A and B are shown apart, each in its own frame.
Chain A
């Protein structure tokens, strides 16, 4: 019987080693260790043995059983490992193939510039004021110290709709409307929007363009405040190492009036093609609000003062991104628009 047991053990271990997958292995387990297997049969046959032999034989059977079970489990681990390896092999891919594209659009570059400026001024306590694109001559011109027949109206060739209504030539009428509404209260606004002038569209002119104007009114608003504010704007839009300079200029709605230049961001002031070899780039017009404008909107120009500035979004975008033709902003070529996707800085 002992002999028989040894042989069974040898047999079981041999089949176990031969099993090449978990299914075969399970068959071996059922065949040798199952309830109907030969080892169980041997145990059942123990009753025929003498009482002295029984414990000895029992221990022997158990030892064989444990040995086979242990080896079986070991084999299970090996086969499982092998199965995982096979699965991994099968599932491996070429990771250098392109991914599934997630469609993403982006803002128009002009909106990008405008929002950047809006965010700067909002952080400085400004509100954003908007107004109609079709305006009354009064708000577009007269309330801004440009009475009918004023020579400076030539500077802004206008699309009229009737004698009294027109497409606004700047976003200043929003300032005039805001002043009228605030009835003498302090103001801190910026006014972005579309404006229109009678120009033939070419590389540097567009009959429709975007402006962002700013207006601050309060007690003791000084020209130094204007300069400090414009400096913050220049640094935000063109980099912290930009310097600004003011040059005297003329606008009917401000006195004094200035133009602001920034030191050239390309050459740093040494002179290059971007700054036309002057080291400076003209960016915007500004000034202290003309007393006539304040008075017309019901402010006491002896008590309050203010500053205003106006920026062309196209000009900023053209400089900032090196765009060479203003018409690009209005043809909406995907190959142009999609370039303004990524973040900067």
Chain B
């Protein structure tokens, strides 16, 4: 909402308050002022000029050489390229030295050899938005009325010596979608009175009801009033009216249309003017549209209606879409002489739905949607009659043709001052409360320790006690509210074990050198299930904004690989990222997807790079695996963790494993398939994804100390010759199972494949640690235990080297 202060002054006294200060007060007490716009800001030397003569420029087709009087006897030659400039016009002239918006400076100049001492201006050159400039002047200079005095201040004359407040209205304050609504608000803030427009006009003896009948056949229209004004002379509106409309962001058209728009802005009540003769009937019938019914609206678009759209008809065909836009068939034109003014109340939900369906939002629909003031509808119609008489020379017919079933009673709220103070944590006196409610012009009575309040119908947001709390608080001042902390709570705050462990997981990842990434949950259909631990039904948006963000993901890996690729494309030689986020699987009983929290990581490029020492190491499978192992170790799950070779689409078939917890698959780890690496332009890249939910909720034993060894351990080494494809993990299992309780640790210390081995074979060496916490082991005991291991290995077909 754009509020011209010149206009606002008609209703409330704001003299002596700077615009900035007023804006601050309005903002602090409830309505945010987004901008304070000084419409003449920085402009100087802009005066009224009289075009004495106009001649074609000798050397330029499109230019005219004008002699312009810019003060008594002060005639200057100005070159003008506007198509509509003509001798005898009063125009706006920016003199040399003038400053205009956008940093434009006017200087004396020569244009194709002819001297030019200034510029004849279009409104756009003075900072007026093109879309609100009257059509007649949209592509040329602005022409002033004949009585304008050359040399006088043109900015004053065209209403630019004004400041406009741009209000950012929240949906509850639709009352401030009108100048009067803003006036009430400002009056309450400043403790001023509101001066309402005085409405009076003469009527002629003919009766409106003899011209038109009104019938309403839809509950969406509880009030419809029609007034008839004849002998209207269609013309341009007076300047003041045009300027107020332009300041409010509305383009002037002609006096009739401008009057309806003026009242829309003044009262917040949308009106519509029909050309009586083109209605071609003496009836207005308000009804729901027939399915598929068509109407061409004022913007010359044909609209197809649905059965729930409310329309105004002439008894047969639609002449307007109620509250949204008028029809072209009944438009007021320059030929119009008799107009029917519609002042109606259309239900917000109906207008909202229709305007949304048709994609047609107007100043009118915006107001109906939020609910107009029931007590202003008829008043606005009267105001229109008055202005049509005063401005357009119309003759108002007697009476109003009316169908009225609208509840206009105020909302009653009963609240105790104690409730208000308790809710705020304050001690505001009853007197102060009453004073605030009076300033707001709320009807209030204090009785039996209660405030009985009838809120004016313009304030449709006031319904319950809490609304009164807010009104009192905002006008008393939020700065006055003290600062306390909530009392009476015995809850001990904290993280749940899950939340605490999730932070530990983050610490492990970061300690391992990975940065936390956050990527999008929405992805394409194509990528939604790629790398997924388990692919289930996907969840797709009803109306995605793009295919790329259409479906909820089932794996975090694709976006992490994207991120790796993004970094590598920017010359990063090492990428190490992890992410914790939900994946969305299938559907639960609640009709929502099952959300499972996962942790995924990607490592790519160099891992160790100590350049001057010459130590360089690229990432490999075991870097990624080591990080996964660290996580399980930190969570106390090492002994329950195992890996099993597996295959996953998009991963290297020889470098991929399932991550198992207690033998159940909880994750995958692997090298990116060479084809994928090529696609993403990545070097060696390894990824892993773990069902974090599963590993953070796995029950673990209490942490209990085991005594620090007092006796030495003994080690024995074994080297085995194995098939190349034989997993070392299986051998370790065999050793673990065969080793007695004296066997404490099995480590792989060498793996060899190469020239010295037979093809298809490899050598793996293990170091076994034997230990007894109670005493020093004898050689015999170790030999006996170790022999059991050797026997088991032999039985399993392993060849000792």
Inter-subunit contact B543/A160 (CB<8 Å): yes
Inter-subunit contact A228/B489 (CB<8 Å): no
Interface residues of B in 478-495 (CB under 8 A from A): 478-479, 481-489, 491-495
> With A and B bound together, what is the CA distance between A231 and B479 in angstroms?
12
Contact digits for A159-170, partner B, Cβ 8 Å, 1 yes 0 no? 111101101000
Interchain nearest-CB distance for A268 vs B (Å): 18
Chain B interface mostly: mixed
CB-defined contacts of A104 to chain B, threshold 8 Å: 510-511, 513
Inter-subunit contact A305/B423 (CB<8 Å): yes
Name A334's contact: one of B466, B509, B515, B522 (CB within 8 Å): B515
Inter-subunit contact B469/A127 (CB<8 Å): no
Query: B398 within 8 Å of A by Cβ?
Result: no
Inter-subunit contact A136/B423 (CB<8 Å): no
CB-defined contacts of B27 to chain A, threshold 8 Å: 247
Query: What range describes how many residues of B lie at the interface?
Result: 35 or more
CB-defined contacts of A142 to chain B, threshold 8 Å: none
Inter-subunit contact B518/A115 (CB<8 Å): no
Contact digits for A136-175, partner B, Cβ 8 Å, 1 yes 0 no? 1000000000000101101100011110110100000000
Inter-subunit contact B577/A332 (CB<8 Å): yes
Known contacts being A105-B516, A136-B591, A188-B491, is A222 close to B370, with CB within 8 Å? Answer: no
Inter-subunit contact B539/A122 (CB<8 Å): no
Inter-subunit contact A128/B470 (CB<8 Å): no
Known contacts being A220-B422, A331-B563, is A207 close to B545, with CB within 8 Å? Answer: yes
Inter-subunit contact B518/A228 (CB<8 Å): no
Query: B173 within 8 Å of A by Cβ?
Result: yes
> With A and B bound together, what is the CA distance between A332 and B593 in angstroms?
27
Query: B172 within 8 Å of A by Cβ?
Result: yes
CB-defined contacts of B513 to chain A, threshold 8 Å: 103-105
Query: A121 within 8 Å of B by Cβ?
Result: yes
List chain A positions with a Cβ less than 8 A from chain B: 97-98, 100-101, 103-108, 110-111, 115, 118, 121-128, 130, 132-136, 149, 151-152, 154-155, 159-162, 164-165, 167, 186, 188, 194, 196, 198, 200, 207-208, 210, 216, 218-225, 227-229, 231-232, 245-250, 255-259, 288, 290-291, 305, 329-335, 337-338
Name B424's contact: one of A167, A224, A231, A329 (CB within 8 Å): A224
> With A and B bound together, what is the CA distance between A14 and B539 in angstroms?
97
Known A-B contacts: A165-B591, A246-B478. Give 15 more (CB < 8 A): A105-B511, A105-B576, A107-B506, A107-B510, A126-B493, A134-B552, A160-B543, A167-B541, A194-B581, A224-B483, A231-B483, A250-B171, A332-B567, A334-B577, A337-B577
Inter-subunit contact B485/A222 (CB<8 Å): no
Inter-subunit contact B422/A222 (CB<8 Å): yes
Known contacts being A108-B516, A224-B482, A337-B517, is A186 close to B370, with CB within 8 Å? Answer: no
Name B612's contact: one of A97, A136, A231, A255 (CB within 8 Å): A97
Known contacts being A133-B521, A227-B483, A331-B563, is A127 close to B493, with CB within 8 Å? Answer: yes
Inter-subunit contact A135/B592 (CB<8 Å): yes
List chain B positions with a Cβ less than 8 A from chain A: 27-32, 170-173, 348-349, 352-353, 369-370, 422-426, 464-467, 469-470, 473-474, 478-479, 481-489, 491-496, 499, 503, 506, 509-522, 539-545, 549, 552, 563, 566-567, 570, 572, 575-578, 581-582, 584, 590-593, 595, 607, 609-610, 612-613, 615
Residue in B closest to A210 when the chains form the complex, CB atoms: B518
Inter-subunit contact B369/A151 (CB<8 Å): yes
Name A256's contact: one of B469, B495, B496, B610 (CB within 8 Å): B469
Inter-subunit contact A165/B592 (CB<8 Å): yes
Interchain nearest-CB distance for B540 vs A (Å): 7
Interchain nearest-CB distance for A158 vs B (Å): 10
Interchain nearest-CB distance for A269 vs B (Å): 14
Inter-subunit contact A151/B422 (CB<8 Å): no
CB-defined contacts of B484 to chain A, threshold 8 Å: 222, 224-225, 227-228
> With A and B bound together, what is the CA distance between A15 and B481 in angstroms?
99
Interchain nearest-CB distance for B579 vs A (Å): 8
Interchain nearest-CB distance for A151 vs B (Å): 5
Inter-subunit contact B479/A245 (CB<8 Å): yes
Interchain nearest-CB distance for B491 vs A (Å): 5
Most-contacted residue by chain B among A124, A207, A224 (CB, 10 A): A224
